[in-house]
Amino acid sequence: MNVLQEMLAAHPQPAANNEGLGEAARHLAACSQVCTSCADACLAEPMVADLRHCIRLNLDCADVCAATSHVVVRQTQTDPTLVQALLNACLTACRLCADECSRHANMHEHCRVCADHCRRCVEVCEALLEALPSG
């Protein structure tokens, strides 16, 4: 068990799906870091002027993943309406970032790693959306 899974298992009203949720939250939090790092690496590239769109999407994705990772980790009286809307936004941010990063993945290893991690987060968001109680 990772530390977030331990935390979720210790909640007074534990979720049905602690392990999946803990793993998902861990990926989303890591994605915020990965995108922050990719924006920073792009900024240091000699061809930074060609990486503007990438940096913009990295920064947005970092913000949205950070917020989403906090919201999904909370288990006290969750409202699925907000979780659903936010996961949709997060999935969109991760998909846009993955698409843009993969355009220069051949040239920049940091963009390849970032694209891969964002794609995995799209799947994480999709799995969490499917597991939501249907409204």
Place of tokens 């909370």: 74
Q: Is 19 in the site for a second copy (CB under 8 A)?
A: no
Rule CB under 8 A: choose which of 24, 98, 110, 128 binds a second copy.
Answer: 110
Rule CB under 8 A: choose which of 19, 20, 59, 129 binds a second copy.
Answer: 59
The CA distance from 99 to 109, in Å, is 15
Q: Is 104 in the site for a second copy (CB under 8 A)?
A: no
Q: Is 60 in the site for a second copy (CB under 8 A)?
A: yes
What is the amino acid identity at position 82?
A: L
Give contact residues for a second copy (rule: CB under 8 A).
3-4, 6-8, 10-13, 25-26, 29-30, 32-34, 36-41, 43-46, 48-49, 52-53, 55-57, 59-60, 62-64, 66-67, 69-71, 73-79, 81-82, 85-86, 88-89, 92-93, 96, 108-110, 113-114, 117
